[in-house]
Structure 1
Amino acid sequence: MPERPVDLTAALDWASSEVGSPVVSSEPLEGGLTSTMLALRHADDSESVLRLMTNEPWRTHGADLTARERDAQLVLADTDVPAPVTLGLDTVGAAAGVATHVMSRLRGARPTAVDDGTLEAMADVLTTIHAVRPPQPFRAFQSWAWQAKWVVPEWSRHPESWRRAFDVLDGPAPSYEPTFLHRDFGHHNLLWSDGAISGVVDWVETSTGPAWLDAAHAASNLAVAYDVERALAFLEAYADAAGARGDAYWLVMDVVGFLPPPGRPPMFGRPEQLERLDDWLHEVVAQAG
């Protein structure tokens, strides 16, 4: 059965109704690997953000993802974590044809540079996230390092490190204290204003799991976007802020999760990004012993 086309006009009408003020303008937001993200302005001069789960495979799971984001935002509303506020949810796509979530818009922009102060602020907000105690635990985290991905990439300069990584993951996972996780934490999901973090966005993967996995994912994203040195510096900052250091198993799991499923192209298209991912894997495998 063919997918129902996305009805953007109906989505904007729905958002107008949920917010309580007509949408007068919309513009796309950057990013959006899983979704179409639109910044909306309303007739009462308020602003909101509309998520439309348009992209597969996330579209198929849009009901669960958007409901999880809504639930996370409800939990975070009474905490010190600067998260959006949920304003309306259509999990079944009754209006637009896809799961849709409208939420408040937070002011700020993604960082243009990452220095020691940036890394320390990231570490501090991550410890604040991990201190959240929801009334009911969110789903157990899912590993993105599926066994089907355990194939040494042809572009690797460190094939033995990848083989060692797969051996590490083939062994038992270390024990951990169940913790509230963002699960896609990284500089790409942070907004900054006046030198401080003003928003943590994209809560569709919220989970319960090892705190070090959230830190690992942030480090991997820093390694790919910048370099190994900044990834290591973030882990040091997080370990200092949290007062604890995690097992390198979770670092390995996160890096392997960046490999594409069989038959699909790499997540990153630029050669230098693949080189940095390769170097990061080489580093974390060395830490795993």
Structure 2
Amino acid sequence: MAEGESAAVVETDIDDLGGSRTRVWVERSLRSGDRVCAVAALRGGWTSQMRRLDVEGEGEPYSLVLRSFVKPFFVRHALGLLTREADILRLLADTNVPAARLHGVDAAAEHCDHPSLLMSLLPGSLRLDGEDIERKTELLARQLVAIHGVLVPEGARPRTYQAWTSPERVRLPENAKQPEVWQRAVEVIRQPPPAYRPCFLHRDFHPGNVLFAGEGADLTITGVVDWVETSWGPADLDVAHCSTALALLHGVPVGMRLADHYVAAGGTLSDDPADHLYWRVLDALAFAPDAEKVAEPWREIGREDLTPAVLAQRLEEYLQALFSQYG
């Protein structure tokens, strides 16, 4: 993990672990003689409380990241979510995917004040601005191909993917400029899911969960974070999710180009445009009506331009572009 789901430090001189049960658990997970000397609250995510823990001892100082679920909804689901993430971090430790190293997990809050997971701090930072966007998009596509190529023994495979919306759950915008586009999109996902060849999915892969370092030709991905939704399913769905996020962050043309970069990098998507359209629309409608929830952490780390009106317009234009290309 980097500055986690979060990329910006809120406070760098506090120790909000105090003498809590969480601190006792964390320090038991450290090497003998090491101790937490500072805690920095991190921002940019909305599912978890993220904190960077600075550790010192006999060796070189280092930092860890502590993810804690404090919101009631996520506390209720923490056992499954954090156990899954811990299992995935163990699995990825033997791959070339740049994921954090697991240091400890207390998914049921048996020892901590809240369900928590402790992991290494990854280098790099979130880059949600439009600089080097074509290079970023190519790197995102290559990273997805690598993730989808992870070989997972049958007994270690994560759960089958879950759709994040359905025709009955879609919230349509009240002031849509093209209401017929939205109605057509809902009709698309009334169809049964297409057949697919399953693979290992991150399931929440987008620029807000990817860390970069360098500039220009030296730009590189240094970390992929937030593995709580990891699933087994169609590569099209991961590509769809990242494409929607890119369209919202940087405009429709950027979101539309990701699939081409993915195929150019060696990835395989459905040969049937109707199948590809289904996965792309299924993901896009999960953001309806305006993607406001996911935009909150994006604005916290500098994208104040992403207002509900801007996001609603981009989402509608993105659906129209999908129908123009695949429908």
TM-score (norm 2): 0.81
Show structure 1 runs of 5+ residues with no match: 1-5
- Rounded to whole Å, the distance in 1 between the matches of 2:294 and 2:199 is 28
Q: Any idea what the Cα deviations from partners look like across 1:162-188, whole Å, max 9, x if unmatched?
A: 111111111121111111000000111
- Rounded to whole Å, the distance in 2 between the matches of 1:267 and 1:81 is 25
SS at match of 1:54: coil
- Rounded to whole Å, the distance in 1 between the matches of 2:114 and 2:94 is 29
Q: CA deviation at 1:267?
A: 4.9
Number of the residue aligned with 1:240:
264
> Equivalences for 1:13-24 in 2 at 5 Å?
13-20=24-31, 21-24=34-37
Letter of the 1:249 partner, please give it: Y
Q: CA deviation at 1:7?
A: 7.5
SS at match of 2:123: coil
- Rounded to whole Å, the distance in 2 between the matches of 1:137 and 1:280 is 33
Number of the residue aligned with 2:148:
130
Identity over aligned pairs, percent: 33
Alignment counterpart, residue 68 of structure 2, candidates 43, 49, 52: 52
Cα 1:279–1:12 change in 2 (3 A) is farther
Show structure 2 runs of 5+ residues with no match: 1-15, 271-275, 296-306
Number of the residue aligned with 2:44:
31
Cα 1:24–1:18 change in 2 (3 A) is same
TM-score (norm 1): 0.91
Alignment counterpart, residue 200 of structure 2, candidates 177, 180, 202: 180
Cα 1:243–1:41 change in 2 (3 A) is closer
Q: Could you tell which deviates more after superposition, 28-37 or 62-71?
A: 28-37
Cα 1:58–1:281 change in 2 (3 A) is farther
- Rounded to whole Å, the distance in 1 between the matches of 2:25 and 2:145 is 36
Q: Could you tell which deviates more after superposition, 50-59 or 217-226?
A: 50-59
CA root-mean-square deviation: 2.1
Q: Is the counterpart of residue 201 in structure 1 residue 212 in structure 2?
A: no
Letter of the 2:180 partner, please give it: E
**Contact 2:166/2:189 (CA < 8 Å) preserved in 1?**
no
SS at match of 1:198: strand
Q: Is the counterpart of residue 97 in structure 1 residue 110 in structure 2?
A: no
Cα 1:265–1:48 change in 2 (3 A) is closer
SS at match of 2:76: coil
Letter of the 1:280 partner, please give it: Y
SS at match of 1:29: strand
Alignment counterpart, residue 213 of structure 1, candidates 215, 234, 237: 237
Letter of the 2:69 partner, please give it: M
**Contact 1:149/1:259 (CA < 8 Å) preserved in 2?**
no
- Rounded to whole Å, the distance in 1 between the matches of 2:210 and 2:42 is 14
Question: For this pair of structures, how many residues does the alignment match?
Answer: 282
Cα 1:114–1:248 change in 2 (3 A) is farther
**Contact 1:130/1:211 (CA < 8 Å) preserved in 2?**
yes
Q: CA deviation at 1:59?
A: 2.2
Letter of the 1:117 partner, please give it: R
